[in-house]
A and B are shown apart, each in its own frame.
Chain A
Amino acid sequence: MSLTFCIIFASACGVVLMRNPIHSALCLIVNLVAVAGIFAQLEAHFLAMVQIIVYAGAIMVLVVFVIMLLNAKQEEGSYSTWLIGLLAVVSGFIFVDMVGPLLSEGFPQSASATDPTVGTVEAIGRVLYTKYLFPFEAASILIMVGVVGALMLAKTDKGKQG
């Protein structure tokens, strides 16, 4: 698992440090797939598959398309204003605050490692449709609103399109 952590860390650095936007996007794909690997190693196979299908397979394709079609140029020069520096310091503190407990207490044992029924498709489906039914449905309505909004924005000439 530590190898996967290394891949995640290296690719996350690559996303920020790469000059060419398509290489950044590539690093992000590697990162997302590696996160799926972490899920798989924690015996949460369903989550791992969904991570690949949704993030690496669908969302990143859109990102790559945007980069390719807008023909994003290689980044030149550097932004070294004081605002960027300030933001970097603040986000660094937030990161340490988030990761600190993990480092001091060690990694929490995953629930699925002790109880094999937690990460399965059946268990997730049952929980989604009973305990978390309202958030699940609310999220789906939110996505629906997004789709309808995108359609409204994309549809410019009302006369021609049926």
Chain B
Amino acid sequence: MELLILAVKAFIVLHVALGLGAVCTWIERKGSALIQDRVGANRAGAYWYPSNPLLWPIAPFIRIAGMLGIINTLLNDAVKALLKEDFVPEGTSVFMHALGPFMAALPVFLAYAVVPLAPDFTIFGYHVQAQLVRIDTGLLFILAMGSLAVYGVVFAGWTGNNKFSLLGALRASAQMISYELAMGIVFVTLIIGYGTLDLYAIVESQQDGWGINPLVHPTGWLSFIILFIVGMAETKRGPFDMPESESELVAGYFTEYSGMKFLLFWLGEFAEIALFALIISLFFFGGWHIPFVELPEGMWWAALVGHGVLMAKVLFFCVLQIVIRWSLPRFRYDQLMSLGWKGLLPLSLLNVMVTAAIHI
């Protein structure tokens, strides 16, 4: 029974990650169209009038989904990617070429394993933790998976066997490593503030559920801003997308990828956006807690409501990241580096010192 619960939880957590990635893809596609004053995807499935009468009841829903671009994003793109030729550049290791996208996407999905998605609840006499594994170093696990994600980019760029790919990989990995420093130091601030590395305990200590936790309050906003910027840089998006800047490097490190391998990079990227939105809402915005509302403890419906609240917060931050990505122009690479090393790193170190002084 324990094993069954674990299997179900693993299934759900994986599908939360995949689902958030898919929703982010759709928001990106339609949102970018809205921002750029276009219509966006609205054709695939919008004219579906099936001849089989058995399919008539679902046809209007499919048509509406098609008009909203959902069919295009979730079905057509996936099928297209699966049917495309899997191109491998000449003179490179096929194994390493295939490893690139897996190493880019796998750590992101693994990081979801330690993220709590709802409060604990009891159902049919079983106490269920809505979290795949509860280790006392959950915060460090996310950092560790972030540091492993560099390999996917490096291998992808290297096996591309051309200069654009390699330059993209160099830019991406230098960017990720530089911003990981600031991220680690922000995590130190959080550890000092909350006094624990357990993600569930961090959320539960924000019982009032209202904004930045009072424990870290004086410096919490600064931590939030730094972590948000770092998150945008770690996902290699927004104004920080030099590694894949099309005007300079074709498509950067994934230039030579096609079909499902390319889609895997894409999926990993969107799952990472959702992951950052998730940890930001868990660390700073009370997770599943609703301001001024006390949900009963241990009830399954309370857990469901809590999960919905958390997902609403996550979607808000996903949309925010996508809006920033489509409204700001790209930095120059030296500006990016000086922001990371001369701006965010000293700022976060200062933040640690102030937080430590407050908590002594």
Task: Please give me the residue from chain A that is nearest to B191 by CB atom.
Answer: A121
Check A61/B140 contact, CB under 8 A, given A20-B93, A22-B158: no
Beta-carbon contact of A65 and B154 below 8 Å: yes
Contact B140 A64 (CB under 8 A): no
Using C-beta atoms within 8 Å of the partner chain, give the interface range for chain B: 20 to 34
Pick from A53, A57, A61, A68: contact of B158, CB under 8 Å: A68
Contacting A at CB under 8 A, from B110-149, are 135-137, 140-141, 143-144, 146-148
Count of chain A to chain B residue pairs whose CB atoms are closer than 8 Å in the complex: 56
Tell whether A121 pairs with B136 under 8 Å between CB atoms, given A52-B148, A64-B151. Answer: yes
Bound-state CA distance A57–B150 (Å) is 8
Measured in the bound complex, the distance between the Cα atoms of B93 and A64 in whole Å is 15
| Closest A residue by C-beta to B137 | A45
B137 and A52 within 8 A (CB): no
Complex contact A121–B158 (CB within 8 A): no
For B64, list chain A residues within 8 Å (CB). none
Given known pairs A53-B144, A120-B136, the reply for A61 and B154 (CB within 8 Å) is yes
Across the interface, name the chain B residue whose C-beta is closest to A116: B136
A29-B151, A57-B148 given as contacts; is B143 within 8 A of A45 (CB)? no
B67 in the interface, Cβ–Cβ < 8 Å?
Answer: no
Contact at A45–B158, with CB atoms within 8 Å? no
CB neighbours of A22 from chain B (8 A): 93, 96, 158
Cβ of B305 within 8 Å of any chain A Cβ, yes or no, is: no
B281: interface (CB < 8 Å): no
Of residues B93, B136, B137, which shows the largest number of chain A Cβ atoms within 10 Å of its Cβ? Answer: B137
Does the CB pair B154–A68 fall under 8 Å? Answer: yes
B92 to chain A, nearest CB (A): 11
Main secondary structure of the interface of B (DSSP, over half): helix
Cβ contact within 8 Å between A45 and B136: yes
CB proximity of B345 to chain A, nearest CB, Å: 14
Q: Does A42 contact B (CB under 8 A)?
A: no
CA distance A53 to B151 in the complex (A): 13
Complex: how many Å from CA A50 to CA B143? 10
Docked-complex contact B177 and A49, CB < 8 angstroms: no
Instruction: Name the distance in Å between B107's Cβ and chain A's nearest Cβ.
Output: 10
Indicate whether A56 reaches chain B with its CB closer than 8 angstroms: yes
Number of A interface residues at 8 Å Cβ cutoff, please give it: 22
Asked if A64 and B154 sit within 8 Å, CB to CB, the answer is yes
The verdict on B173 contacting chain A, using a C-beta distance below 8 Å, is: yes
Interface set, chain B 310-325, CB cutoff 8 A to A: none
Q: How far is the CB of A39 from chain B (nearest CB, A)?
A: 11
For B197, list chain A residues within 8 Å (CB): 121
Q: Which positions 1-40 of chain A face chain B at CB distance < 8 Å? A: 20, 22-23, 26, 29, 33
Assess whether A58 is interfacial by the CB under 8 Å rule.
yes
A8 to B302: give the CA distance in the assembly, Å: 44
Separation of A93 and B118 alpha carbons in the complex (Å)? 54
Q: How far is the CA of A61 from the CA of B152 in the complex (A)?
A: 11
Measured CA separation A22–B158 after assembly (Å):
10
Contact A121 B137 (CB under 8 A): yes
List residues of B (328-352) whose CB comes within 8 Å of A's CBs: none
Expressed in whole angstroms, the Cα–Cα distance for A30 and B342 within the complex equals 34
Residues of B within 8 Å of A65, CB to CB, are 154, 173
Interface string of B155-175 (1 = CB under 8 A from A): 000100000001000000100
Q: B140: which A residues are within 8 A, CB to CB?
A: 46, 49-50, 53
The smallest C-beta distance from A56 to any residue of chain B, in angstroms, reads 6
Contacts of B158 in A (CB 8 A): 22, 68
CA–CA, A45 to B143, complex, Å? 13
CA gap between A45 and B141 in the complex, in Å: 9
Contacts of B146 in A (CB 8 A): 57
- B151:A61 contact, CB within 8 angstroms: yes
Known: A22-B158, A65-B154, A65-B173. A46 touches B137 (CB 8 A): yes
| Chain A residue nearest in CB terms to B149 | A57
- Report which residue of A48, A49, A58, A65 has the largest number of chain B beta carbons within 10 angstroms of its beta carbon: A49
A120-B196 Cα distance, complex, nearest whole Å:
11
Known: A22-B93, A53-B143, A64-B151. 19 other contacts (CB 8 A): A22-B158, A45-B135, A45-B136, A46-B136, A48-B137, A49-B137, A49-B141, A49-B143, A52-B148, A53-B147, A57-B146, A57-B147, A61-B151, A61-B177, A65-B154, A65-B173, A68-B158, A68-B166, A121-B136
- The 9 A-B residue pairs whose C-beta atoms are closest, nearest first, are A57-B147, A49-B140, A52-B144, A45-B137, A53-B144, A45-B135, A68-B158, A49-B137, A49-B144
Contacts from A to B (Cβ < 8 Å):
20, 22-23, 26, 29, 33, 45-46, 48-50, 52-53, 56-58, 61, 64-65, 68, 120-121
Instruction: List 8 A-B pairs, Cβ < 8 Å.
Output: A22-B158, A52-B144, A52-B148, A58-B177, A61-B173, A68-B154, A120-B136, A121-B137
